[in-house]
Chains A and B, each alone.
Chain A
Amino acid sequence: ETGVTQSPTHLIKTRGQQVTLRCSSQSGHNTVSWYQQALGQGPQFIFQYYREEENGRGNFPPRFSGLQFPNYSSELNVNALELDDSALYLCASSRDGLGGSSYNSPLHFGNGTRLTVT
Chain B
Amino acid sequence: AQKVTQAQTEISVVEKEDVTLDCVYETRDTTYYLFWYKQPPSGELVFLIRRNSFDEQNEISGRYSWNFQKSTSSFNFTITASQVVDSAVYFCALSGETSYDKVIFGPGTSLSVIP
Residues of A within 8 A of B (CB): 33, 35, 41-45, 48, 50, 55-56, 58, 88, 90, 92, 96-104, 106-112, 114
Contacts A42-B105, A42-B106: A90 and B98 contacting too (C-beta < 8 A)?
A: no
Expressed in whole angstroms, the Cα–Cα distance for A58 and B105 within the complex equals 13
Contact with A along B84-115 (1 / 0, CB 8 A): 00000001010111111111111110000000
Q: Is the CB of B108 within 8 A of A110?
A: no
Residues of B within 8 A of A (CB): 4, 32-33, 35, 37, 42-47, 50, 52, 91, 93, 95-108
User: Main SS of chain A's interface residues?
Assistant: loop
Note all chain B residues with C-beta closer than 8 A to A100: 32-33, 95-103
Note all chain A residues with C-beta closer than 8 A to B43: 88, 90, 111-112, 114
- Which one of B45, B50, B97, B101 contacts A43 once the chains associate, using CB atoms below 8 Å? B45
Note all chain A residues with C-beta closer than 8 A to B103: 33, 45, 98-100, 107
- Which one of A50, A56, A111 contacts B102 once the chains associate, using CB atoms below 8 Å? A56
A28 CB to nearest B CB, Å:
15
A104 CB to nearest B CB, Å:
5
Note all chain A residues with C-beta closer than 8 A to B37: 109
Expressed in whole angstroms, the Cα–Cα distance for A56 and B104 within the complex equals 13
Most chain A C-beta atoms within 10 Å of own C-beta, residue among B50, B102, B108: B102
